[in-house]
Chain A
């Protein structure tokens, strides 16, 4: 079945540092890949997505590239801000399956 493995947190960075959160997946076929963000006290919001190999999703300075050869979808941002403090979830959705499969989430804290 489908599964997502993302790096465990928590991750603590200083403002303007570079961020990488690793995500790898196992799936049959050609899944779509997603990053969701959950700010404190809120539900999940879609941050970015990629639907085929070598696609790059980007939003709010965050980027992730769909790498089929390494089954990875790592999240990166060049310069984090305090307002980026949140929990980040990697997820995949494959074929005709209605369901999203989530990783366990990575808590990011950015200090001023």
Chain B
């Protein structure tokens, strides 16, 4: 079965720490995405990547960066974690060859708490 795997389900970090959230997909998908999910706000796109070493800002990139050194791995980096980055983080991937009709495959999410 195809998968998107996020390295941690739960994470607790201290304010000011540099935090790495890892996501790996085994579907050879070109496109990968990072969202954060907050109550009442739904899913908001942080960054996405449509190829290795390529990245584009989403709707809320401030305070985040990303890395895509290999096709299967897309990392989200919180340069200096703050309490307002406490959230559920969801990684997803998709294949552009399916065109607009293709949906995303999501990971199970990482619930990050910054204290």
Q: Which residues from chain A sit less than 8 Å from chain B, CB to CB?
A: 31-32, 34, 36, 42-46, 49, 51, 89, 93-100, 102-105
Contacts and interface: CB of A to CB of B under 8 A. Distances in A.
Report, nearest first, the 6 A-B pairs whose CB atoms are least far apart: A104-B42, A43-B106, A44-B106, A51-B101, A102-B43, A46-B103
B63 interface: no
Q: Is the interface of A mostly helix, strand, loop or mixed?
A: loop
A53 to B, nearest CB: 14
Interface string B22-62: 00000000010100000011110100101000000010000
B104 interface: yes
Interface residues of B, number: 25
Contacts, number: 56
B91 to A, nearest CB: 8
Contact of B90 (A43, A93, A96): A43
B25 to A, nearest CB: 12
Contacts of A98: 31, 48, 50, 94, 96
23 contacts: A31-B100, A32-B100, A36-B103, A42-B108, A43-B107, A43-B108, A44-B43, A44-B90, A44-B104, A44-B106, A46-B103, A46-B104, A46-B105, A89-B42, A93-B102, A96-B100, A98-B50, A100-B103, A102-B42, A102-B43, A103-B42, A104-B40, A105-B43
